[in-house]
């Protein structure tokens, strides 16, 4: 199938998980979701990633984001792996791990890259909004663990820029200055939207304090 692109509707599916059967779009509801894949159970990098996701449960929750993992191993295998994650990472996995032994989800989301891994998933990440639209994708090799600070940073940027006519500059962190969209030129609207003012470094580069802070 063709590669999923930003702006596409996230494919729906029904699949078993450690939290019972998941109907994906229904499960997302009115929240955001982060779907991320793992090459296999009982692998060292994946164990640290799932532990980190569990440790960040509060950070995801306050952003209205539901994390969900997928591995091509069986539900029985997941059930044996989760206690290892909890024990070695000193946490409690409380989000679903999809059991994708038939590779239905991996195929829908193009997570198997034969030139990298013959029959397992690469480390894919999909950030999906409440409209079920794919907003961001990442793909990592099996050897490289994901940066969850970056995943949260991107979610912060998406949620901010959805509600304000701004974009976030390089290395932006929540609370830093942002830039005003070049399409916004009306002086009255600029004054209303940005009462703290802005610094016009160039006509196209106008820096302003983050408007929701």
Task: Convert the pLDDT of each residue in 79-97 to its tens digit.
Answer: 999 999 999 999 999 999 9
- How is residue 127 written in tokens? 């950030």
Q: Give percent above pLDDT 90 in the chain.
A: 84
Asked if residue 102 and residue 49 are part of one domain, the reply reads yes
> 46, 82, 151, 152: which one is catalytic?
46
Query: Would the pTM of this model clear 0.85, i.e. be above it?
Result: yes
Sign of CA dihedral 164, 130, 57, 168: negative
Contact 97, 18 (CB under 8 A): yes
The pLDDT of residue 141 is 84
Angle of helix 75-89 versus helix 44-55 axis, rounded to 10: 70
The pLDDT of residue 181 is 97
What pLDDT, in 10s, does the model give residues 142-187? 889 999 999 999 999 999 999 999 999 999 999 999 999 999 999 9
The pLDDT of residue 117 is 52
Q: How long, in residues, is the chain?
A: 213
Asked if residue 119 and residue 192 are part of one domain, the reply reads no
What pLDDT, in 10s, does the model give residues 106-150? 889 988 765 545 556 668 999 999 999 999 999 888 889 999 999
For 127, residues 6+ apart whose C-beta sits below 8 A from its C-beta are 32, 33, 34, 134, 135, 136, 137, 151, 154, 155, 158
- How is residue 84 written in tokens? 């290892």
The pLDDT of residue 69 is 96
Burial of 167 (0-12, 13-18, 19+ CB in 10 A): middle
How many domains does the chain contain in total?
2
CATH at 28: 3.40.30.10
Query: What domain range is 94 assigned to?
Result: 14-146
Residue 200 lies in a domain: yes
As a whole number of angstroms, the longest Cα–Cα distance in the chain is 61
Nearest to 88 by CA among 137, 55, 40: 55
Taking the CA of residue 208 as centre, how many other CA atoms within 13 Å lie in the half-sphere pointing to its CB? 23
Q: Is 46 a catalytic residue?
A: yes
What average pLDDT does the chain have?
93
Asked if residue 90 and residue 191 are part of one domain, the reply reads no
- In this structure, are strands 32-38 and 65-71 parallel, antiparallel, or unpaired? parallel
CA distance 125 to 67: 10
CA distance 89 to 75: 21
């Amino acid at each position: 199938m063709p590669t999923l692109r930003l702006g596409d509707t996230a494919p729906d599916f029904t699949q078993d998980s450690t939290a019972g059967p998941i109907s994906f779009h229904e499960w997302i509801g009115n929240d955001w979701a982060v779907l991320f894949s793992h090459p296999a159970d009982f692998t060292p990098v994946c164990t640290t990633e799932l532990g980190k996701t569990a440790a960040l449960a509060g950070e995801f929750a306050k952003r209205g984001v539901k994390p969900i993992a997928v591995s091509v191993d069986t539900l029985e295998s997941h059930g044996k792996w989760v206690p290892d994650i909890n024990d070695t990472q000193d946490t409690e996995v409380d989000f679903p791990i999809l059991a994708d032994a038939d590779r239905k989800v991996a195929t829908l989301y193009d997570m198997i890259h034969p030139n990298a891994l013959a029959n397992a998933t690469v480390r894919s990440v999909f950030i999906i909004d409440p409209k079920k639209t794919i907003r961001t994708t990442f793909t990592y090799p099996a050897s490289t663990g994901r940066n969850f600070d970056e995943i949260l940073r991107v979610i912060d940027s998406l949620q901010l820029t959805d509600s304000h006519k701004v974009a976030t500059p390089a290395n932006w962190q929540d609370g830093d200055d942002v830039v005003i969209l070049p399409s916004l030129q009306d002086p009255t609207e600029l004054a209303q939207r940005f009462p703290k003012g802005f610094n016009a470094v160039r006509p196209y580069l106008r820096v302003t304090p983050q408007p929701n802070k």
